[in-house]
Structure 1
């Protein structure tokens, strides 16, 4: 299997685990020092990331990870794609569409998530659209 195929397969397992709130599966997919940068700039370490599901604070109803492009640099890979979610956090909707960057590292022959960064997708600002 190619690196791209390996990472796409890991992505499918990650989506299934997030949607199921399966912290045991998520735990096996991430490095010990995993970090997430959320769409509003907050940073979660591995335990905080897993704790959202353990506490029941985060419920992911639907998640799609698509249009993924993978670049490999030795034992590190960068996967950039679109992350669509329908979810709630502490009962509040956190639905959204994000550009997501996943940083992966190869450890003992398998790819693991070392980090994620989510940025909300939106229209370009007026100056970038050629506005006056």
Structure 2
């Protein structure tokens, strides 16, 4: 291969500059393609607000014993752990509401925090509940954690719910702070 040496220097410099720009642009594009896109704050706020609206729908459905709404909000593999440790799947949870074993006159949200993830949302809330749990009257404060997952169609569904009693009478069958008994072979 034979190089021409009579090409004016300014053309060589221009070609080198264009090649440099193309190379830099290629490096930047490759670096951007390797990094996952960060959701914009506005998108996170909008999704967080959407979860808060779903929470309102859930609580309103509970106070109205509206299992149709609850069922639409639940994933098929939904699991709930009540404040007394009862584990319920979707059908069992809905049956407890339908039968009136669990009924709610009011659920007042005292605090709510929503943490967004790419395909999940975690809600931590504190509520005052007035009604009936496991056929026992209840007027107590609970904290609960609810996990939402994004379904294949983009809709949010409740995957898991767990409640913990913060305050309320011992007559509810829940004794606050009662430790698990030690096994005979365990040391203190």
TM-score by length of 1: 0.85
Deviations 1:90-130 (A, max 9, x none): 642133211110100111222111111111115xx8xxxxx
User: 1:55 Cα deviation (Å)?
Assistant: 1.7
Change (3 A) 1:15 1:38: same
User: Given that residues 15 and 65 in structure 1 are in contact (C-alpha distance below 8 angstroms), is that contact kept between their aligned partners in structure 2?
Assistant: no
Give 5+ residue unaligned stretches, structure 1: 126-132
Aligned partner of 1:52 in structure 2 is 96
Where does the alignment leave 5 or more consecutive residues of structure 2 unmatched?
1-44, 168-176, 178-188
Match of 1:10 among 51, 54, 64: 54
Structure of greater Rg = 2
Q: 2:160 aligns with which of 111, 115, 124?
A: 115
Report how many aligned residue pairs link the two structures: 123
Between structures 1 and 2, the one with greater helix share: 2
Deviations 1:15-71 (A, max 9, x none): 110000001111001100111111112211111100012222222111123421111
SS at match of 1:86: strand
Structure with the larger strand share? 1
CA RMSD in angstroms comes to 1.7
- Higher RCO (CA-CA < 8 Å; seq separation 6+): 1
Runs of 4+ in 1 over 6 A off after TM superposition: none
Q: Which residue of 2 aligns with 1:102?
A: 146
Confirm whether residue 92 of structure 1 aligns to residue 136 of structure 2: yes
1:30 aligns with 2:74: yes
Does the 8 A contact of 1:32 with 1:46 survive in 2? yes
CA distance in 2 between counterparts of 1:114 and 1:81 reads 16
